[in-house]
C-alpha cells in the first residue's frame, strides 16, 4: 500500500498553488520611464531642474512604496489560503526590506537611464511636446 506524506501528493495539486514573491521588471521600469519623461519635459519647459527632478524622484519612490505595500498585502492574503503547514513553500515568505529595496532600485535604475537618455537625445521628444502644448492652448 502506498503512503503519502502530503495530502495533495496523491491527487495532484487540486488548484492549490504556492505564490512566491515574484517581482517583475515591468511595473518599476514603466513607472520609471513615465516619471523620467514627465520630469524631463517639465525641466525643459520651466527651467526649474532642481525642484522638478526632486519632486519626480520623490513621487516615484512613493509610488513604488505603494506597490510594495500592495504586493505585501497580496502575499498575506495568499498565505491565509494555505490550510496545512506542509503545503507552504519556504520560498514564498517575503523579506519586506529586500522586496522594497528591489522595487526602489529597479525604479531608480530605469528612471535615471531614461532621464539621461532624454537629456542627450530628447530634442525630438521635447519638440513634439511643444507642438502638442501649442495645439491645445487656447
Burial of 102 per CB tally in 10 Å (0-12, 13-18, 19+): middle
Q: Which three cell numbers stand for residue 118?
A: 532624454
Nearest to 35 by CA among 50, 53, 18: 53
Question: For residue 82, what pLDDT band results from cuts at 50, 70 and 90?
Answer: low
pLDDT-based confidence at residue 34 (cuts at 50, 70, 90): very high
For position 113, what pLDDT does the model report? Answer: 93
- Percent of the chain residues topping a pLDDT of 70: 68
pLDDT value of residue 58: 94
Q: Of 32, 56, 50, 45, give the one whose Cα is nearest residue 128.
A: 45
Q: Please, which pLDDT band fits residue 10 given cuts at 50, 70 and 90?
A: low
Residue with cell 505595500: 69
Q: Can you tell me the distance from the alpha carbon of 127 to that of 50, in angstroms, rounded to the nearest whole number?
A: 22
What nine digits make up the cell of 108? 531608480
Cell numbers that stand for 83 in this block: 490550510
Q: Which of 40, 24, 53, 63 is nearest to 127 (CA)?
A: 40
Higher pLDDT, residue 86 or 135: 135
Tell me the pLDDT band of 62, cut-offs 50, 70 and 90. very high
Amino acid at each position: 500500500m502506498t503512503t503519502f506524506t502530503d495530502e495533495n501528493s496523491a491527487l495532484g495539486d487540486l488548484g492549490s498553488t504556492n505564490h512566491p514573491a515574484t517581482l517583475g521588471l515591468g511595473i518599476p521600469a514603466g513607472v520609471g520611464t513615465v516619471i523620467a519623461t514627465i520630469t524631463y519635459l517639465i525641466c525643459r519647459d520651466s527651467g526649474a531642474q532642481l525642484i522638478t527632478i526632486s519632486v519626480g524622484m520623490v513621487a516615484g519612490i512613493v509610488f513604488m512604496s505603494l506597490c510594495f505595500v500592495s504586493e505585501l498585502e497580496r502575499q498575506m492574503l495568499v498565505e491565509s489560503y494555505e490550510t496545512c503547514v506542509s503545503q507552504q513553500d519556504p520560498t514564498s515568505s517575503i523579506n519586506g526590506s529586500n522586496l522594497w529595496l528591489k522595487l526602489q532600485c529597479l525604479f531608480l535604475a530605469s528612471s535615471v537611464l531614461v532621464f539621461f537618455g532624454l537629456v542627450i537625445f530628447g530634442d525630438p521628444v521635447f519638440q513634439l511636446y511643444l507642438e502638442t502644448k501649442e495645439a491645445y492652448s487656447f
